[in-house]
Amino acid sequence: MDKQGLVELRQLLDAALTDGVEPDVAWRSRFKATIQSLGSSPEANAAQFDFAIAALFDAVFANAPMSNLPDWFQSNQKLAELYAALLELRQFTLALSHGDLARALRLKGFTAGALKNLQASLRHLTWQTQMIARGDFNQRVEFMGEFSDAFNAMVVRLEETLNQLKHHESELAERNTALTREITERQQAEEKLRASEELFRSLIQTSPDGVCITDLTGTLTFSSRKALEMVGYSDWADIRGKNVLEFIAPEFREQATVTVRELLKGNYTGVAEYKAVKKDAQVFWAETKMEVLRDAAGAPTGIFFIIRDITERKHAEEIERDLRILSETLRDTAAVLNSTLNVSEVLDFILAHLHRVLPHDAANIMLIDDDGLVIIPRGHGYADPDPKDILAQRFQLAQIPVLRTMVETQSPVVIRDTRTSAQWSNLLPGAAWIRSYAGVPIAIKGKVIGFLNLDSGTPGFFTIEHVERLQAFANQAALAIENARLYAEVQHSAITDSLTGIYNRRHLMELAARELERARRYNRSFSILMLDIDHFKTINDTYGHAAGDCALQVVVERFRKDLRRSDVLGRYGGEEFLALLPETNTDQAQLIAERLRNSIALTPIETGRGAIAVTVSIGVAMWEAVAPPLLRAETLDEFIERADQSLYQAKHAGRNRVFMLNTTVRQPVVK
Amino acid sequence: MDAQRKYQFSWELLGDLDLGRPNLGPTTRLEVYRLMQFCFRDVMEQQLGTEKTDRIFFDAGKLAGEKFYQHVLTKTDDLNEFVQQLQTALREMNMGILRVEKADAELGSFIFTVSEDLDCSGLPELDYEVCVYDEGFIAGLMESFTGKPFKVKEVDCWCTGDRTCRFTAEVVS
């Protein structure tokens, strides 16, 4: 084998494969010559040469290399080796182009070495990119020209970007930490606030007092359940947006407005009381504490109200006040009643003080007189018609069912509606306006002596409390009336004659002295009659003392009938009477005396012993200012003595006559 | 280790080149390095045989790698930092262009390539790898870095037709 020929052959192939020299005619010619030099026929060598060229050409340029190579090709070691090397290079570069860096290239030489160098560089680059991906930005590619510059610039930029990202990340992390901390603090604050609000809400909602909040215009912004209940609502939505003044009674709104105004100025602290209005218009007493709500800057933002229903307390206070007033009134009444024995004063005082403890439109006191008639000594509030018409009324007890009931039961009566009660009877003039009534009996030792009555124009006005208080008054009145009556009786007994009921001598003399003094002071006429029953001892002896007493009583009765109201009749002695005739001159006195005499003389007196004829003798005396001093009686005794002397003359003249001494001549007093 | 051996290595033996070569400087031509190395190989092989010669060159390279790690590199536990330090040092000292093709620290398996290395880049093709010294050098470096024994083998070499020297390094379990 010609080594030089082989070297030439190799050079030719290198030129074609590596240097890219086209296998032109010159190249083919040289190739052929080289083959030939290797010891074969020119023709065969040419054909083989052509084939070999074609095969090698396909191995480099064709999509698929030749297969089924002839034996001579494969038996040519160098050729076969070259062809195999080309195929391997082909496979290696293909794999390399697909990114397969693991394929080994078992060739030596420049070309294979360069390809393997490229493969090694790519492997290193792969490792470097893996390191960069792990964050190692110190990786740099060297000695790879333009790629090194681009790659290294990319790494630097990646590092810068990563650093920026890290910086941003760090900032974000810091911000996040700060935000997280702030969020945590805020959450804690919110939690505290929520807990505080929850506590506040629980306290508010469980408080027995109502709580509400308004803005500065008074518009409700919050109401606790209790506050809603207080005003009769169940749903907050129903009162949201309403003004708090809507729930205050109209008469208290002005006060409430002023209070809030002062509160906002800082001039008000404390508790306000007013009437509140419910949804159904019911009213209740409320006690309110108020506080101004302020923002962080101290500016007012609303009003905070704590509301307590004090209706019961108010009611209790009213009751206590009423009871106190009642107690004071009763005490005062008792003091007054204990200090007077005058029935009229007692009645006046009772009626006047009723209004302090008992509301009513009209009131009256009824008494049952000795004849069983019901009289109305006192009354007020009955303006129509004339109140005096009320006081002038007299009724039979049986005419008034309600009074009858009280007498029978000795218990109070309350009539809620006079129009529907069978107990009521409109006997009082102008009483049609009365719609409700409360009456209590005034009783002493089990005996009803009168009634204390209250009237109202409102149905159902009077309550059990009213009746109880009225009864307390009636009890005091009963005692006072009884005391006054007893006193009057005692007084009457002290000044009256028990048999005839006219004044006794002692009181008669007091009255006579009073009348004489009045006549003397005012220079008025004043006459007296001395009356004596003729033969009274004989009557007693003949008919008995009982008949005699009866005669006395009848005589007195007849005298009373014929005497004037202004005249005073008294018993001077056993059968002697003295009549005081104020403002009466002689002629008038004699006329009256004659009338009295006739009233006895003309009609016998019926007694238990039959009819008795009775006469009287009458002496007349007159005191008048015009009488000469010598003839004017200076003293009462002298005056009465004169009448007595006149009587003596009447007796002396035959009895059953009237005699008057001559007033122009002063007659000597005959003892 | 004998304390008084004559040729026991120490880094000081590299000397003060600024002092020693104020005019020529610290560098020389690569051929000078190769001339000494290959002559060493020749004479050693004649006297000691091929295997022993390879062994001596491997051990020498390993010793050099260990000393290089101690005196040139900064101790680190980070693989990437170690690689970068080594790359920089080899490049700056014109010893070669170190690249990594594979690095599995957990398994202790690595593939390095050294291009334009001192020993073989540009040599004619031979049938064997010649970078025995570099094998030892890399072994010394890896053992110094990891603290574990390494087996290093050159699998591709310029002399076997590659254009970069490829070394596998496996930790000896």
Q: What is the pLDDT at residue A390?
A: 64
Residues paired with residue A568 on neighbouring β-strands, in sequence order = A580
Q: What is the pairing mode between strands A271-277 and A283-294? A: antiparallel
pLDDT at A227 over 50: yes
| Longest CA span, chain A | 234
**Are A112 and B99 an interchain contact pair (Cβ–Cβ within 8 Å)?**
no
Pick the more confident residue, A669 or A193: A193
* Amino acid type, B163: R
Q: Which ranges constitute the DSSP H helices of B7-152?
A: 17-20, 30-48, 50-71, 79-92, 132-146
Residue whose structure tokens are 């170690």: B82
B99 part of contact set with chain A, CB < 8 Å: yes
What is the rounded CA–CA span in Å between residue A469 and residue A322? 10
Residue environment code for A239-262, b if the CB has 16+ CB neighbours within 10 A, otherwise e: beebebeebbeeebeeebeebbee
Distances in whole angstroms, Cα of residue A336 to Cα of each of A344, A365, B115: 12, 18, 141
Residue A374: pLDDT band (50, 70, 90) is: confident
Using an 8 Å Cβ cutoff, are A277 and A230 in contact? no
Min Cα distance B120 → chain A (Å) is 13
Q: What is the pLDDT at residue A339?
A: 76
3-state SS, residue A548: helix
For residue A18 the two structure tokens come to 């590596």
What is the rounded CA–CA span in Å between residue B65 and residue A19? 42
Residues paired with residue A380 on neighbouring β-strands, in sequence order = A363
What is chain A's mean pLDDT, rounded? 86
Min Cα distance B127 → chain A (Å) is 10
Q: What is the pLDDT at residue A669?
A: 39
CA-angle at A261, arms to A257 and A263, nearest 5°? 115
Distances in whole angstroms, Cα of residue A204 to Cα of each of A216, A227, A240, A302, A552: 21, 10, 17, 17, 93
pLDDT at B139 over 90: yes
A123 part of contact set with chain B, CB < 8 Å: yes
Task: Please list every residue in chain B whose beta carbon sits closer than 8 Å to the beta carbon of residue A139.
Answer: 84
For residue A211 the two structure tokens come to 């709580």
pLDDT at A628 over 70: no
Which of A109, A121, A139 is opposite residue B161, by nearest beta carbon?
Answer: A109
pLDDT, tens only, B22-64: 889 999 999 999 999 999 999 999 999 999 999 999 999 999 9
Q: pTM, whole model, 2 decimals?
A: 0.41
Using an 8 Å Cβ cutoff, are B116 and B97 in contact? yes
Count of beta carbons in the 10 Å neighbourhood of residue A321 = 10
pLDDT, tens only, B122-137: 888 888 889 999 999 9
Task: Please list every residue in chain B whose beta carbon sits closer than 8 Å to the beta carbon of residue A89.
Answer: none
What is the rounded CA–CA span in Å between residue A354 and residue A364? 10
CA-angle at A78, arms to A75 and A82, nearest 5°? 110
3-state SS, residue B58: helix
Q: Which contiguous run of DSSP H or E holds residue A540?
A: helix A536-543
- DSSP string spanning A68-105? S--HHHHHSHHHHHHHHHHHHHHHHHHHHHTT------
Residue environment code for A524-545, b if the CB has 16+ CB neighbours within 10 A, otherwise e: bbbbbbbbbbbebeebbeebee
What is the rounded CA–CA span in Å between residue A390 and residue A213? 59
> How many residues does the structure list for chain A?
671
> How many residues does the structure list for chain B?
173
Q: Which contiguous run of DSSP H or E holds residue A206?
A: helix A145-206
Q: What is the pLDDT at residue A492?
A: 76
3-state SS, residue A344: helix
Q: What is the pLDDT at residue A631?
A: 54
Mean pLDDT on A564-579 = 94
CA-angle at A638, arms to A632 and A642, nearest 5°? 80
Q: What is the pLDDT at residue A51?
A: 85
CA-angle at A624, arms to A619 and A625, nearest 5°? 160
Nearest CA in chain B to A135: B80
End-to-end CA gap in chain B: 26
Q: Which of B85, B91, B164, B166 to mutate to test the interface with A (most CBs of A within 10 A)?
A: B164
Distances in whole angstroms, Cα of residue A119 to Cα of each of A90, A93, A114, B96, B100: 14, 9, 9, 18, 12
Nearest CA in chain B to A125: B101
| Longest CA span, chain B | 50
pLDDT at B96 over 90: yes
Q: What is the pLDDT at residue A670?
A: 40
Task: Please list every residue in chain A whose beta carbon sits closer than 8 Å to the beta carbon of residue B115.
Answer: 117, 120, 143
Task: Please list every residue in chain A whose beta carbon sits closer than 8 Å to the beta carbon of residue B99.
Answer: 120-121, 123-124, 127
pLDDT at B158 over 60: yes
Q: Which contiguous run of DSSP H or E holds residue A619?
A: strand A616-623
Residue whose structure tokens are 């002023």: A258
What is the rounded CA–CA span in Å between residue A577 and residue A532? 6
Count of beta carbons in the 10 Å neighbourhood of residue A465 = 14
Using an 8 Å Cβ cutoff, are A647 and A617 in contact? yes
B146 part of contact set with chain A, CB < 8 Å: no
Residue A263, CA atoms < 13 Å, CB-side half-sphere: 24
Q: What is the pLDDT at residue A248?
A: 94
- Listed residue (A45, A13, A21, A44) closest to A32, CA to CA: A45
In terms of average pLDDT, the best of A119-133, A172-186, B68-82 is: B68-82
Q: What is the pLDDT at residue A14?
A: 84
Residue A342: pLDDT band (50, 70, 90) is: confident
Using an 8 Å Cβ cutoff, are A321 and A328 in contact? no
Q: Which contiguous run of DSSP H or E holds residue A441?
A: strand A436-444
- Listed residue (B133, B138, B126, B130) closest to B168, CA to CA: B138
Distances in whole angstroms, Cα of residue B31 to Cα of each of A70, A546, B35, B37, B122: 48, 195, 6, 10, 11
Q: Which of A81, A107, A123, A155 to mutate to test the interface with B (most CBs of B within 10 A)?
A: A123
**Are B115 and A120 an interchain contact pair (Cβ–Cβ within 8 Å)?**
yes
pLDDT, tens only, A60-117: 888 888 877 888 788 888 888 899 999 999 999 999 999 999 998 888 777 888 888 8
Residue whose structure tokens are 């693991």: A102
3-state SS, residue A255: helix
Residue A662: pLDDT band (50, 70, 90) is: low
pLDDT at A181 over 80: yes
Distance of CA A380 to the CA centre of its chain: 37
List all residues of chain A from 132 to 151 with a beta carbon under 8 Å from chain B.
134, 136, 138-139, 142-143
Count of beta carbons in the 10 Å neighbourhood of residue A140 = 14
Q: What is the pLDDT at residue A184?
A: 82
3-state SS, residue B77: coil
End-to-end CA gap in chain A: 227
Residue A192: pLDDT band (50, 70, 90) is: confident
